[in-house]
Structure 1
């Protein structure tokens, strides 16, 4: 089967699946989405029916790079600094502190586990490779699905300090995760550079690539208002940025996030651009999860301890990080709100994007399979229970049901009572 035909089939499936989800679920979130599309990918991949074998998956690697880049560009478009300045004090700091604590705990323990695990399959990994793998797991742990979180809050009809804080925290967490991951990959590039460029130089090149492409976009189509033209221009910029990142072994997520963020803060076309591009978000997530499942390679049996431990450790680290952040920041949140970090469990396809971005630049082997498996399993499993966990947090905060039900019938306005008839004046005798 030719690569163009495979590409058409994959994209057709993604758009059809998205249309069916919208038809049957409406605005509700599909809790099984991450798991079901990864499993479909495994079914059609080399471990299943082999409809997508290794050679065909290799031919689709440029598509995967563009898809991950588009996801990063969408995240960057949402980072308008003008709107960030209008948010309540402490909300950004809450997400930042939660992310730093969680990533440090998970990443540090992941490095200890990977470095000391008694298996020959990890014995050949270099210290730099182990550090990058641990950093990827730590930063992947703080990814939170913003759209799923907002959908859950809306479904609970919740309103209050916690309900307003959580989406902002989730936006901060995913931005910190992508930025940290991108800088980690660029720094790792310095360790393999024969020319001896320092770490900061490679970090600067990665940032400069995103800013340069944003400048090109702004110069040529920055004042455009036609959403179709903006959409086509976005595809070109994202494809170019993803190609540059892939060639230099950078993170396509990070380079495109920098480009998207620059466009959001410089170009007046950013709102129209976001409206045009956001329609592709769900189909791209389907493509990402499908290809991630198809290319998945299970780690050796004993290494499955790491994904299992990651699930427990991430949940505990989010609780610790969120509780510490509430005490540290000026957010208007009760410090005794139990298990606030449970509301941030959902991850969605962005965790799969980080996993695949790591797989594309790593040397493969057992270390790569452990990292990719851990992130994919974490995304699929956490998406199963994040909704009840979120509702539990909102209920304990006393914020559920504060907003009117959008589907409830609006009561009719009371009909005013008729005015009493005027009495005729008495007649003279």
Structure 2
């Protein structure tokens, strides 16, 4: 009976997602937002219609879906792309990380929060949602210098964010010294890079041989699942591993016309379930549990993105029409932030409640509103290109 309920629920979710996608086209809203709202409606915060066996699938599905996203984003980090946009990618991503941490920390401290707690929340606020941003880019159909730069930023900014979070964790937790948090980050990121290289380098030369010019769908699935599984087994970042493997294949596989385009054709069912189940796990009550503090945190993160995004864009020498739109385009926030919050809550149990509540509240807001901001930024840039 449980298996029947699982299959029936999955069937209904897939069909319901088609309706959400259609509504998104009619209303011009990102399909990510519509899927999250549908998940929120059928989840515990809404009608509570999902069977436990379905929500149990969220973790493995999210790992596979995000590893696919990481592969595709890593594929944007080609030598050609980095030569064209490397300065902008590095300056904007670093500016976003430092600026978000500083502005959120300063603002929350000025409002009376403990400086240590405020610093941790500022570091957590650096995280973005690569899945939502990459899907909005794909849905828009826009492919230009702005989307190439944005994809490059999304590919690496969570790496800087994890390093910043580890540094802030070490600053606040002087009882355990500097070594543990920094070594943890080094293992997570360094191990992910090493694993990605170990998978990506042989894959670059071995895949795409059976069908000339492009890896087969089976090859794409095999490499993604292998990377995700090894990352979990070795306890390293599957996002970093996927990104590194994708970058290695894109740069080294000269016999590929399209590096793992097959992933784009198979990722949507995984992404669909990922966003639906992500919406179902959102806790709507968290939005108003801490009242004005939640509102202040959200406002400060928006301000930080706008200010630091513009500063990084000016340093990166992007065209004037793009200077103001990188901040709004990078508003979505999701799983990496929750992961950081869990680590911080375990390290500082006395701050666990505000850390988790504020992070979940921000995730609810930015998962729903963030993709819309990204889409509007893409449309603004597109309209400027057409008019000029």
TM over 0.5: yes
Contact 1:299 1:370 in 2 (8 A): yes
2:311 aligns with 324
Residue 4 of structure 1 and its aligned partner are, at CA, apart by 8.9
1:340 aligns with 323
Which stretch of structure 1 is more off in the superposition, 72-81 or 376-385?
376-385
1:6 aligns with 6
Residue 283 of structure 1 and its aligned partner are, at CA, apart by 3.7
Let me know the Cα RMSD of the aligned residues: 4.6
Deviations along 1:117-168, one digit per CA (max 9) or x if unpaired, are: 879xxx9xxx6x97665333113289983564587695xxxxxxxx954223
Matched, 1:225 2:211: yes
Aligned CA distance change for structure 1 residues 56 and 135 (closer, same or farther; 3 Å): same
* Structure 1 unaligned spans of 5+: 155-162, 403-429
1:176 to 138, 146, 156: 156
Contact 1:106 1:138 in 2 (8 A): yes
Count residues in correspondence: 375
Asked which structure has the greater CA Rg, the reply is: 1
Matched, 1:167 2:147: yes
Contact 2:127 2:334 in 1 (8 A): no
Aligned CA distance change for structure 1 residues 210 and 244 (closer, same or farther; 3 Å): same
Residue 271 of structure 1 and its aligned partner are, at CA, apart by 3.9
Counterpart CA distance in 2 for 1:137 and 1:226 is 44
Aligned CA distance change for structure 1 residues 247 and 58 (closer, same or farther; 3 Å): farther
2:290 aligns with 303
Counterpart CA distance in 1 for 2:165 and 2:52 is 25
Secondary structure of 1:138's aligned partner: coil
2:224 to 206, 215, 238: 238
Aligned CA distance change for structure 1 residues 168 and 232 (closer, same or farther; 3 Å): same
Counterpart CA distance in 2 for 1:376 and 1:98 is 25
Aligned CA distance change for structure 1 residues 244 and 391 (closer, same or farther; 3 Å): closer
Secondary structure of 2:260's aligned partner: helix
Aligned CA distance change for structure 1 residues 306 and 110 (closer, same or farther; 3 Å): farther
1:313 to 300, 308, 313: 300
2:191 to 189, 192, 205: 205
Secondary structure of 1:140's aligned partner: coil
Contact 1:3 1:60 in 2 (8 A): no
Contact 1:140 1:375 in 2 (8 A): no
Q: How do 1:138-157 residues align onto structure 2 when only pairs under 5 Å count?
A: 138-140=126-128, 145=133, 148=136
Counterpart CA distance in 2 for 1:316 and 1:132 is 18
Matched, 1:64 2:62: yes
Counterpart CA distance in 2 for 1:342 and 1:224 is 43
1:110 aligns with 104
Which stretch of structure 1 is more off in the superposition, 66-75 or 210-219?
210-219
Counterpart CA distance in 2 for 1:256 and 1:186 is 21
1:374 aligns with 362
* Structure 2 unaligned spans of 5+: 171-175, 347-351
Q: How do 1:64-143 residues align onto structure 2 when only pairs under 5 Å count?
A: 64-85=62-83, 87=84, 91-111=85-105, 134-140=122-128
Which stretch of structure 1 is more off in the superposition, 284-293 or 240-249?
240-249
Contact 1:182 1:251 in 2 (8 A): no
Counterpart CA distance in 1 for 2:12 and 2:289 is 38
Aligned CA distance change for structure 1 residues 150 and 234 (closer, same or farther; 3 Å): closer
Which stretch of structure 1 is more off in the superposition, 93-102 or 302-311?
302-311
Deviations along 1:304-339, one digit per CA (max 9) or x if unpaired, are: 5455345543443344335434543444x34xx6x8
Contact 2:39 2:280 in 1 (8 A): yes
Which stretch of structure 1 is more off in the superposition, 255-264 or 265-274?
265-274
Residue 65 of structure 1 and its aligned partner are, at CA, apart by 1.5
1:40 aligns with 38
